Amino acid sequence: MAGHSSILLIEDSPGENELFRLALEQSAIGVSLRTESDPEKAFRFLEQAPDMHALPSLVLLDLNLCGRHGCDFLRRLRADPRFAHLPVVVFTNSDAAADLSLCYGSGANGYVVKPGTYADLVQCVAALCRYWLIWNRVPFPVKVRC
C-alpha cells in the first residue's frame, strides 16, 4: 500500500476493538488504527483534525454505541461539510433489513456484518482495507497515497 492510511473504528466493546486490532495486524496491511468507544469523542477527534489530510481514510461504525444508535452519528457526520466525504462503513452484528435500510438512508457507504470466526474476521478486515484504502477512489483525496 502506498502512502499512509488510517481507520477510525467506533466500537464500544473493548473485546471487539482488540479482535479488530489483532485481525488488522495479522492481515499485514500497514494501516494505523484509532478506536473510540463513544460517538461524541469520535466526533471531537474528527473536529480536531488540523486539515483534511489528517482525517482517517475510513470510518468503521458499530450500530449500538453506549445506548445510542450509530446512525445518529452517521447523520451528524453527513450533515457537516468537513466530513461528508469520509467513507463510512457500518460494521455490525445486525443482519436486520431495517438496520441495513436505515444505515444506507443515513449516508453509509457500506454495510458489513461482522464475521463469526476470527479467521473470517482477518479475511474481512483485509478485504475492507484493500477495497476502501487501495482500490476505492473519493472525489478528492482523504490521504495523499503516492
Beta partners for residue 34, in sequence order: 8
pTM: 0.88
Distance of alpha carbon 16 from alpha carbon 24, whole angstroms: 12
Q: Which of 7, 14, 12 is nearest to 64 (CA)?
A: 12
The per-residue pLDDT for range 82-129, each reduced to its tens digit, is 898 899 999 999 999 999 999 999 999 999 999 999 999 999 999 999
- Structural domains of the chain sorted by starting position, each given as residue range(s) with its CATH number in brackets: 5-135 (3.40.50.2300)
pLDDT in the model for residue 139: 66
C-alpha cell read off for 55: 482525517
Which element (helix H / strand E) includes 32?
strand 31-36
